[in-house]
Amino acid sequence: MNHTSTTTNGFAEQKDLHFGLEPASMKLRHVVESQQFTLPLLMDLFTRSRGMERIVARGGSLDHQNRILATLFYAPSTRTRFSFEAAMYKLGGRVLSTEQARAFSSEVEGERVEDTIRIIGGFSDVIVIRHHEEDGAQRAAAVSPVPIINAGDGCGGQHPTQALLDLYTIYRMRPLDGLSVAFIGELDKGRTVRSLAYLLGKFERIRIFFVSPPELQIKPDILEYLDRRNVQYELESDLNKVVGEVDVVYQTRIHPDRGADLPVRQKYAINSSILQRMKPDAMILHPLPRTVELDKTVDSDPRALYFRQATNGLYVRMALLTMLLESQ
Amino acid sequence: MNHTSTTTNGFAEQKDLHFGLEPASMKLRHVVESQQFTLPLLMDLFTRSRGMERIVARGGSLDHQNRILATLFYAPSTRTRFSFEAAMYKLGGRVLSTEQARAFSSEVEGERVEDTIRIIGGFSDVIVIRHHEEDGAQRAAAVSPVPIINAGDGCGGQHPTQALLDLYTIYRMRPLDGLSVAFIGELDKGRTVRSLAYLLGKFERIRIFFVSPPELQIKPDILEYLDRRNVQYELESDLNKVVGEVDVVYQTRIHPDRGADLPVRQKYAINSSILQRMKPDAMILHPLPRTVELDKTVDSDPRALYFRQATNGLYVRMALLTMLLESQ
Amino acid sequence: MNHTSTTTNGFAEQKDLHFGLEPASMKLRHVVESQQFTLPLLMDLFTRSRGMERIVARGGSLDHQNRILATLFYAPSTRTRFSFEAAMYKLGGRVLSTEQARAFSSEVEGERVEDTIRIIGGFSDVIVIRHHEEDGAQRAAAVSPVPIINAGDGCGGQHPTQALLDLYTIYRMRPLDGLSVAFIGELDKGRTVRSLAYLLGKFERIRIFFVSPPELQIKPDILEYLDRRNVQYELESDLNKVVGEVDVVYQTRIHPDRGADLPVRQKYAINSSILQRMKPDAMILHPLPRTVELDKTVDSDPRALYFRQATNGLYVRMALLTMLLESQ
């Protein structure tokens, strides 16, 4: 664990302070963006997540029986919401739930998320928010009397727990140092790719291939960050060239309205021919939901881990909840 | 209990195998359609349901404290959803809840219920699904890692727990062998009527009257099934002719958009004049919600059991949940 | 406590009987409107609410572990719904929840709230309803097998628990007898103002200023009630004239579609200049949500109690739930 090199990264350090992170005690107040997670904090989280696997296998705990989680989803996402709520249940807690908070807030002109958070924070112990604006979670954290977890904000925003469960899924299979990863699909707007690339930059001897149509390639800010961290990377437009070389194939969806018609989207799809070129011990990840870019026939391949990602999300979110509830 | 005659019915047998039912151990994996329920399974369910009445009278149990029920309603139905969720609570369990899952899934082109089920099955112990497509529940059951309960699929589809609670309501009042029943209303599309007629066919000396405008009469597939089971039935268009002869008056709603204007719908309504012609110990059932076909003045008649049907639904669903959770 | 004077008020007495209130035993069956609350009942409620503050500080209780609260919101209100649900959780209970019940009921022509209540009352122990029609809660209470709590009905209707938490917030700061209050904003349609004015009329030596544009002033029925109760009041259109004289500044929102353009709404706003004229020990209340009528800069003033109102709502609703559940 490389404590010093992480905190000498100016950007990360600034963020840590902003969200009340004190590296010495590793106390976590809010989870707003993946930049908050230092290497020691990641290792603490993953160790806890392993423990959560054992707790779930035993049927869950009742340790947080009196604590209340509120999910405040301004944009609906049944799976992400259920994952957080199930995590709270497995810890013994209770859940206040919204499926579509935006319908409610639209009834009032000028309604501000800050007031809502201050009120709901008055009768809950932790709030999971998915907001339609990019700074929604950060604005919530700035005023909240209880911990905030960002469950996705805006289109180009953050979704830090997705990146954490992605990384945990890889970590459960092999050491993270020395990993080679191909990110495939619509990379410029892909918040899961951006966040995971950020986290990978904290490890040693990482190699990344960004594979996409040139007009949808990863943005320079991530590449500059990887340069600072001495991470090797390549930009590539041909999936076939790199798929045999990597340990992780991280597939994402290309939205049809991004100017990519079906033949383009199929050119970047994972199918049986791509499977044959992959390493025998590679991993296929996808944040889901999927469309044409990930064929159903892949599901039965032992390298397909995308449904295991969902279960790992339960463990990682349980671990995060315990860290936040205990730091209160 | 007539084990053999049930399994010699080719259709039922095929279904049983399909859904993992093993008549010997009576293990229940999913509840997708009423055809799954053999006579021994029905009797097991009803005996358990009686036990649930006692558990609810004592205030509920905490036996399934760590288990999680997920309700996945693509079409909203507050009452059916609440009934399942209350059943899980009375067993001590937890609930993940959607009121309108379709709003969520519509955001993604090509989103498939199979993927959603595989993910949600990763952090729940049983899933109740109401899907807008007729094969939705069956598709869910085909891939789910946990038991699926069909809470209604499509328009002409199934809603098996409604038929089970209907039958249980009658069973609590009198023996099912020798029963005479009048089904009234829009019978061709009525999934509750179709399912209940199917279940009644498993008992001895049943007589059924199908009472409706000729153009809305019950479809031939049900009549053929009743023929095979040697059940007596008659098609009738005049309610007055049969209402005095039956033990059960099962009323249903005629949708105004089915070409039946108000005078037609009122001709098939239950009102005080119909009440006078009914047997003194008859039962009036209705799956609710109701409109003109069931007058409010009927509510105070002791033969009106439609609100008791709702309470019985709680017991039957509790019983089903225990059967599914214990077969895991 | 002035038991007799309250029950000699014909209106109040009639209401009490209607909702099953027996002043002798102070049993509460339903909470439909603030008129139900006699002075002894208010004092009982506030004493219980104090006790709830202690229970919450200890982390909640499990005393009502087997009881089920159903929230039936035909119009969405995340904050009010969460407040009731958190109250039930802190008592150890379970929650059946709707965010938008109207979407469900609209699918059926002629669907009546009475049938829904009779069914949901079959598997819950208390129902919180927000209905879009003014008599929705009263119609629900008339048929319900379990206690009903009105969480707001119609536009000019009631929202009694809001008035109770408002009054409790004042009560926690100073004695209610001798209080002077300024109600500001859109008073003719303001259900919280109407309900709180009604409750204040039960105390001694109350002085009320109704401050609003003349066309939005409080309606005569409230003034006639205050006359009967010998409460001093004044109608005023200039906020500056009264703001220095009162113990409580109760601010409310003016809807922009009420013919009041922005300059008018700002004329009735609380800002730093108004703050300077207020008594040093005054209280600023607002039912929230707010727009221009309550500037963000007011939030840091120690006299701003509107976020504490929300927390007090939790205690008052817990107290009400225990009263209703114990009267079963």
Q: φ, ψ for residue C106 (rounded to 5)? A: -70, -15
Q: How distant is the Cα of C123 from the closest Cα of chain B, in angstroms?
A: 6
Which regions in chain B score pLDDT beneath 70?
1-26, 103-111, 156
A261 or B247, which is more confident: B247
pLDDT of residue A291: 87
- A79 closest CB neighbour out of B65, B112, B120: B120
Count Cβ atoms below 10 Å from residue C222 Cβ, excluding itself: 22
A58 or A255, which is more confident: A58
**Per-residue pLDDT at A3 exceeds 50:** no
Is A289 in Cβ contact with B115 (below 8 Å)? yes
pLDDT of residue A25: 38
Q: φ, ψ for residue A128 (rounded to 5)? A: -100, 120
In this predicted model, what pLDDT tens digit does every residue of B187-241 receive, in sequence order?
998 889 999 999 999 999 999 999 999 999 999 999 999 999 999 999 999 999 9
Q: How distant is the Cα of A78 from the closest Cα of chain B, in angstroms?
A: 7
Q: How distant is the Cα of A112 from the closest Cα of chain C, in angstroms?
A: 8
3-state SS string for chain B? CCHHHHHCCHHHHHHHHHCCCECCCCECCCECCHHHCCHHHHHHHHHHHHHHHHHHHCCCCCCCCCCEEEEEECCCCHHHHHHHHHHHHHCCCEEEECCCHHHHHCCCCCCCHHHHHHHHCCCCCEEEEEECCCCHHHHHHHHCCCCEEEEEECCCCCCHHHHHHHHHHHHCCCCCCCCEEEEECCCCCCHHHHHHHHHHCCCCCCEEEEECCHHHCCCHHHHHHHHHCCCEEEEECCHHHHCCCCCEEEECCCCHHHCCCHHHHHHCCECHHHHHHCCCCCEEECCCCCCCCECHHHHHCCCECHHHHHHHHHHHHHHHHHHHHHCC
> Residues of CATH 3.40.50.1370 domain(s) within chain A?
10-159+313-326, 174-304
Amino acid at A222: I
pLDDT of residue C191: 85
Count Cβ atoms below 10 Å from residue A13 Cβ, excluding itself: 16
Note if the bond before B289 is cis, omega within 30 degrees.
yes
Chain A neighbors (3+ CB pairs < 8 Å): B, C
Is A76 in Cβ contact with B122 (below 8 Å)? no
C-side interface with A, Cβ within 8 Å? 59-60, 62, 76-79, 82-83, 85-87, 89-90, 97, 99-100, 256, 288-292, 307, 310-311, 314
pLDDT of residue A104: 55
Please report residues of A whose CB lies closer than 8 A to that of C311: 122-123
pLDDT of residue A112: 84
Please report residues of C whose CB lies closer than 8 A to that of A98: 78, 99
Q: Which residues contact A316 (CB under 8 A, 6 or more apart)?
A: A45, A49, A52, A161, A164, A165, A168
pLDDT of residue C256: 78
Q: How distant is the Cα of A151 from the closest Cα of chain C, in angstroms?
A: 18
Is A119 in Cβ contact with C76 (below 8 Å)? no
pLDDT of residue A44: 96
Is B307 in Cβ contact with C118 (below 8 Å)? yes
Contacts across the A-C interface (CB distance below 8 Å): 65
| ipTM score assigned to the predicted complex | 0.90
Which of these, C275, C288, C183, C287, lies nearest to C237 by C-alpha position?
C183
Amino acid at B271: N
Is B60 in Cβ contact with C120 (below 8 Å)? no
- What whole-number distance in Å separates Cα of residue C232 and Cα of residue B36? 73
In this predicted model, what pLDDT tens digit does every residue of A183-192 receive, in sequence order?
999 999 888 9
Contacts across the B-C interface (CB distance below 8 Å): 65
Mean predicted lDDT score pLDDT of chain A: 88
Contact C191, C157 (CB under 8 A): yes
Q: Which residues contact B216 (CB under 8 A, 6 or more apart)?
A: B185, B186, B187, B188, B189, B254, B258, B260
Count Cβ atoms below 10 Å from residue A328 Cβ, excluding itself: 11
Contact A145, A211 (CB under 8 A): no
Is A307 in Cβ contact with B122 (below 8 Å)? yes
Give the tokens for residue B96.
């993940």
Is A79 in Cβ contact with B109 (below 8 Å)? no
In this predicted model, what pLDDT tens digit does every residue of A100-129 receive, in sequence order?
777 655 445 556 899 999 999 999 999 999
B-side interface with A, Cβ within 8 Å? 65-66, 68, 70, 72, 94, 96-101, 103-105, 107-112, 115-116, 118-120, 122-124
Is C98 in Cβ contact with B100 (below 8 Å)? no
The CATH superfamily assigned to A174-304 is Aspartate/ornithine carbamoyltransferase (3.40.50.1370)
pLDDT of residue A99: 86
Contact A174, A202 (CB under 8 A): no
Q: How distant is the Cα of B304 from the closest Cα of chain C, in angstroms?
A: 13
In this predicted model, what pLDDT tens digit does every residue of C134-160 receive, in sequence order?
899 999 999 999 999 999 987 767 899
Mean predicted lDDT score pLDDT of chain B: 88
- What whole-number distance in Å separates Cα of residue A205 and Cα of residue C85? 50
Give the tokens for residue A56.
């779930």
Contact B151, B80 (CB under 8 A): yes
Percent of chain B with pLDDT over 70: 88
Coil, helix or strand at residue C210? strand
**Per-residue pLDDT at A19 exceeds 90:** no
pLDDT of residue C189: 86
> Residue C105 burial (CB < 10 Å; 0-12/13-18/19+)?
middle
pLDDT of residue C46: 98
pLDDT of residue B263: 85
Q: φ, ψ for residue C73 (rounded to 5)? A: -105, 105
Coil, helix or strand at residue A259? coil
Is B109 in Cβ contact with A78 (below 8 Å)? no
pLDDT of residue B280: 98
Contact C91, C323 (CB under 8 A): no
Walk along chain C (328 residues) in steps of 10 and give the mean pLDDT of each run: 32 38 62 94 97 97 95 91 98 94 57 90 96 92 97 83 98 97 94 93 97 95 96 97 97 83 89 96 95 93 97 98 92
Closest residue, chain B, to A99 (C-alpha): B98
pLDDT of residue A308: 96
Model confidence at A296, pLDDT cuts 50, 70, 90, reads: very high
Q: Are strands A180-184 and A94-97 parallel, antiparallel or unpaired?
A: unpaired
Is C289 in Cβ contact with A108 (below 8 Å)? yes
Contact B243, B269 (CB under 8 A): no
Burial code of C180-205, b = ≥16 C-beta within 10 A, e = fewer? bbbbbbbbbbbbbbbbbbbbbbbbee
Q: How distant is the Cα of B64 from the closest Cα of chain C, in angstroms?
A: 13
Burial code of C17-26, b = ≥16 C-beta within 10 A, e = fewer? ebbebebeee
Please report residues of C whose CB lies closer than 8 A to that of A65: 62
- What whole-number distance in Å separates Cα of residue A162 and Cα of residue A183? 15
Distances (CA, A) of A128 to A109, B120, B291: 24, 18, 42
Is B120 in Cβ contact with A77 (below 8 Å)? no
Q: CATH: 3.40.50.1370, 3.40.50.2300, 3.30.565.10, 3.40.50.1860. Which one for C10-159+313-326? A: 3.40.50.1370
Give the tokens for residue B13.
């047998």
pLDDT of residue C263: 85
Which of these, C45, C328, C327, lies nearest to C171 by C-alpha position?
C45
**Per-residue pLDDT at A2 exceeds 70:** no
Which residue do the tokens 């009452």 mark? B79
Is C77 in Cβ contact with A119 (below 8 Å)? no
Give the tokens for residue A122.
């008055």
**Per-residue pLDDT at A262 exceeds 90:** no
Q: What's this model's pTM, rounded to 2 decimal places?
A: 0.92
Find the helix or strand (DSSP H, E) in which A139 lies. Answer: helix A136-143
Q: Where are the beta strands (DSSP E) in A163-244?
A: 180-184, 207-211, 232-236
Which residue do the tokens 């405008």 mark? B213
Please report residues of B whose CB lies closer than 8 A to that of A87: 123
Distances (CA, A) of A36 to A41, B108, C145, C206, C291: 9, 30, 52, 54, 34
Give which of C54, C67, C89, C100 to mutate to test A binding, by max A Cβ within 10 Å.
C89
Please report residues of B whose CB lies closer than 8 A to that of C103: 76, 99-100
